[in-house]
């Protein structure tokens, strides 16, 4: 520790996500951080553990009609509908900037069929500057595809195998909480070869406009995120960490270092910050600083000592 | 455009009518970077409920580092902001979006309805700062009743622009809509109309401008979470198909680029 203190890398916040080494456990969640460039004026991107970019599909997607979002108690519902520029424009327009960043870039992918996931992964093979792939099998907003993969262990495993077979970088699979037992899905994707699992994606919810007697969202249902879902996410991370041997990445309502540390105690090797980016664009960097302060104050050798260190 | 997250102290609180409040904040970085039509995202309180920031167009930004927002109390967030007092500090993020594109040569007609008056004061100031002869420029302000219009009249008058007012109930100015006033005005060909207000009003303004061949820019509202193009929650239908996003493509649009339902 004295060596580390003298040489400036103390506190040691490095974590391993399989073969991927992150300088700290704080990532930005897909769909909440654009393609990173949007946040450049506000965040020192190189201070983050990794950035996960907006989910990419083979073809561009226009997304859902308005209204797409609505605030709820301590949270928000969204039904963006996977709007994205498609893999071609992602590679030509977004990747040149991203690969110039001094931070690992994780590309989130989504598709309607196993074959689409495979083709998408093949398009990313050999692309310079991609540290890992995160597979979205859990977005609740597209009627075919998303929900089925995320809720069906066989399909989840098949998608994971297809991506893993094609990929030349580590594969993280993002799990849906909209299942009766998330550990079954976690084990299925582990069996399919996933290098890590990230959880949770949004919880399916709904909001009604009483005055108009209509759903608030054009899509009727949407994904609930924000502090409201943190207890559910913590419980699921705790359960999954006990059920699989691959690293678990915690997501769900994190907006402070304390929140992040709770997920790490529950068994997460790293965390993703999502909705909080909308409220405080600097939150991810502040969480890194807060975790560093905690590690210093508690005289830990490394943040890794805290992973799964929940006292029963 | 540079964006800033500032801790902005409230230096003036004005209750302009029963529902309408104007806050003056010390936010020098945002004030220096802002142009008319830009907006800011402001947190109401520091807790998790309400969770999201609220978007406000800039009512004024001054070289002395002050910005103003002008809003109606419509929900919990605006109610909390309306209970803030001088000296309190708000977390303000901005300036954001694409503002009005001021045509320095063309005569200007500013049309504001209700809280849509908010961004037009800043716009009026910039138009007058251009040092041109503005005898052909016109401001039309309207609202439900005098409380929406009368408290703001002197702020516009200071710039020397000619002013017409209308209220739904006739309690200030003429009785009727701002679009009734607009229709009755003989505007010079080549006038640029800069509008902000409720959607039905903007649709009528757009229609009038199309009929007369006038260029029209509108500032519109949307629900939004981030204000900076990350959440993609603030889409509106584009005239050419697909969607535009209010936070990065707007909030000021050429009216012809949007789809109007009425």
Question: Is this complex's ipTM strictly greater than 0.90?
Answer: yes
Q: What is the mean pLDDT of residues A166-192?
A: 97
Q: Look at A73 and B52 and tell me if their CB atoms are within 8 Å.
A: no
Which residues between 218 and 257 in chain B have a beta carbon less than 8 angstroms from any beta carbon of chain A? 222-226, 228-237, 242-243
Chain B residue numbers with beta carbons less than 8 Å from the beta carbon of A227 are 48, 51
pTM here is 0.94
Residue A285 zone, left/alpha/beta (φ > 0; ψ -120 to 50; rest): alpha
DSSP H helices in A94-215: 95-99, 114-124, 146-151, 153-166, 182-191
Q: Look at B5 and A32 and tell me if their CB atoms are within 8 Å.
A: no
Residue A143's pLDDT is 45
Q: Helix (H, G, I), strand (E, B), or coil: what is residue A270?
A: strand
Work out the number of other CB atoms within 10 angstroms of the CB of residue B240: 9
pLDDT surpassing 70 at residue A146: no
Tens-digit pLDDT string for chain B (262 aa): 689 999 999 999 999 999 999 999 999 999 999 999 999 999 998 889 999 999 999 999 999 999 999 999 999 999 999 999 999 999 999 999 999 999 988 999 999 999 999 999 999 999 988 777 778 899 999 999 999 999 999 999 998 889 999 999 999 999 999 999 999 999 999 999 999 999 999 999 999 999 999 999 999 999 999 999 999 999 999 999 999 999 999 999 999 999 998 6
Angle between helices A153-166 and A182-191 (to 10 degrees): 30
**Residue spans of beta strands (DSSP E) within A4-158:** 15-17, 20-22, 26-28, 50-56, 69-72, 75-78, 105-109, 132-136
pLDDT digits (tens, 9 = 90+) for B86-108: 999 999 999 999 999 999 889 99
Q: Look at A76 and B51 and tell me if their CB atoms are within 8 Å.
A: yes
Question: Confidence class of residue A1 from pLDDT cuts 50, 70 and 90?
Answer: very low
Query: Which of the two residues, A18 and B26, has the higher pLDDT score?
Result: B26
Q: What is the mean pLDDT of residues A161-167?
A: 97
Q: What is the mean pLDDT of residues A224-237?
A: 98
Residue A53 C-alpha from the chain's centroid: 9
Q: Which of A139, A189, A217, A229 is catalytic?
A: A139
Q: Look at B229 and A34 and tell me if their CB atoms are within 8 Å.
A: yes
Chain A residue numbers with beta carbons less than 8 Å from the beta carbon of B5 are 42, 280-282
Size of interface A-B (CB pairs under 8 A): 93
Q: Helix (H, G, I), strand (E, B), or coil: what is residue A163?
A: helix
Q: Exposed, middle or buried by CB within 10 Å (0-12, 13-18, 19+), for B56? A: buried
CA distance A141 to chain B (A): 13
A-chain residue closest to B55, CA distance:
A279
pLDDT digits (tens, 9 = 90+) for A21-71: 999 999 999 999 999 999 998 899 999 999 999 999 999 999 999 999 999
* Residues B166, B143: Cα–Cα separation, whole Å: 7
Those residues of chain A whose CB sits closer than 8 Å to some CB in chain B are 31-34, 38-39, 41-42, 62-63, 65-71, 73-76, 78, 80, 83, 226-227, 255, 275, 277-282
pLDDT digits (tens, 9 = 90+) for A71-105: 999 999 999 999 999 999 999 999 999 999 999 99
A74 catalytic residue (yes or no)? no
Question: Confidence class of residue A150 from pLDDT cuts 50, 70 and 90?
Answer: confident
A-chain residue closest to B230, CA distance:
A34
Work out the number of other CB atoms within 10 angstroms of the CB of residue A167: 21
């Amino acid at each position: 520790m004295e060596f580390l203190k003298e040489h400036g890398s103390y506190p040691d916040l490095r974590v391993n996500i399989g073969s991927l080494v992150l300088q700290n456990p704080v990532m930005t969640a897909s769909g909440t951080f654009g393609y990173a460039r949007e946040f450049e004026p506000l965040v020192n991107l190189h201070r983050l553990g990794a950035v996960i970019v907006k989910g990419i599909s083979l073809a561009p997607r226009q997304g859902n009609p308005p209204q797409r979002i609505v605030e709820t108690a301590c949270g928000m519902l969204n039904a963006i509908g996977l709007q994205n520029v498609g893999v071609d424009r992602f590679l030509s327009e977004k990747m040149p900037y991203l690969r110039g960043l001094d931070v690992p870039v994780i590309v989130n992918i989504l598709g309607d069929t196993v074959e689409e996931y495979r083709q998408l992964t093949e398009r990313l093979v050999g692309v310079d500057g991609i540290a890992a792939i995160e597979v979205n099998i859990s977005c609740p907003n597209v009627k075919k595809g998303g929900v089925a993969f995320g809720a069906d262990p066989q399909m989840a495993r098949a998608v994971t195998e297809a991506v893993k077979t094609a990929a030349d970088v580590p594969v993280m699979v993002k799990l849906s909480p909209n299942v009766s037992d998330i550990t079954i899905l976690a084990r299925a994707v582990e069996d399919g070869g996933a290098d890590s699992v990230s959880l949770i994606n949004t919880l399916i919810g709904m909001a009604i406009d009483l005055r108009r007697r209509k759903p608030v969202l054009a899509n009727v249902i949407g994904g609930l995120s924000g502090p409201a879902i943190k207890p559910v996410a913590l419980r699921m991370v705790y359960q999954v960490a006990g059920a699989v041997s691959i690293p678990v990445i915690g997501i769900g309502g994190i907006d402070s270092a304390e929140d992040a540390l709770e997920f790490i105690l529950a068994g997460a090797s790293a965390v993703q910050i999502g909705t909080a980016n909308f409220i405080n664009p600097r939150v991810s960097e502040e969480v890194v600083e807060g975790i560093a302060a905690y590690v210093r104050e508690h005289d830990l050798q490394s943040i890794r000592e805290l992973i799964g260190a929940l006292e029963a | 455009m540079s964006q800033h997250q500032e801790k902005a102290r409230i230096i003036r609180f004005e209750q302009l009518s029963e529902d309408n409040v104007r806050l003056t904040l010390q936010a020098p970085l945002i004030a220096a970077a802002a142009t008319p039509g830009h907006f800011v995202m402001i947190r109401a309180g520091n807790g998790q409920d309400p969770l999201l920031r609220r978007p406000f167009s800039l009512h004024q930004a001054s070289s002395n580092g002050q910005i103003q927002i002008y809003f109606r109390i419509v929900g919990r967030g605006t109610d909390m902001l309306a209970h803030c007092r001088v000296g309190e500090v708000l977390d303000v993020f901005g300036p954001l979006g694409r503002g009005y594109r001021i045509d320095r040569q063309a005569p200007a007609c500013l049309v504001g309805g209700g809280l849509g008056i908010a961004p037009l004061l800043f716009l009026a100031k910039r138009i007058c700062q251009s040092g041109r002869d503005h005898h052909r420029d016109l401001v039309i302000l309207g609202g439900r009743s005098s409380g929406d219009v009368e408290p703001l009249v002197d702020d516009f008058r200071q710039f020397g622009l000619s002013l017409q007012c209308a209220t739904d109930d006739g309690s200030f100015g003429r009785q009727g809509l701002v679009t009734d006033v607009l229709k009755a005005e003989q505007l010079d060909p080549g006038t640029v109309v800069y509008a902000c207000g409720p959607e039905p009003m903007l649709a009528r303004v757009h229609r009038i401008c199309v009929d007369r061949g006038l260029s029209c820019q509108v500032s519109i509202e949307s629900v939004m979470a981030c204000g900076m193009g990350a959440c993609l929650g603030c889409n509106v239908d584009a005239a050419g198909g697909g969607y535009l996003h209010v936070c990065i493509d707007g909030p000021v649009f050429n009216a012809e680029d949007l789809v109007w339902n009425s």
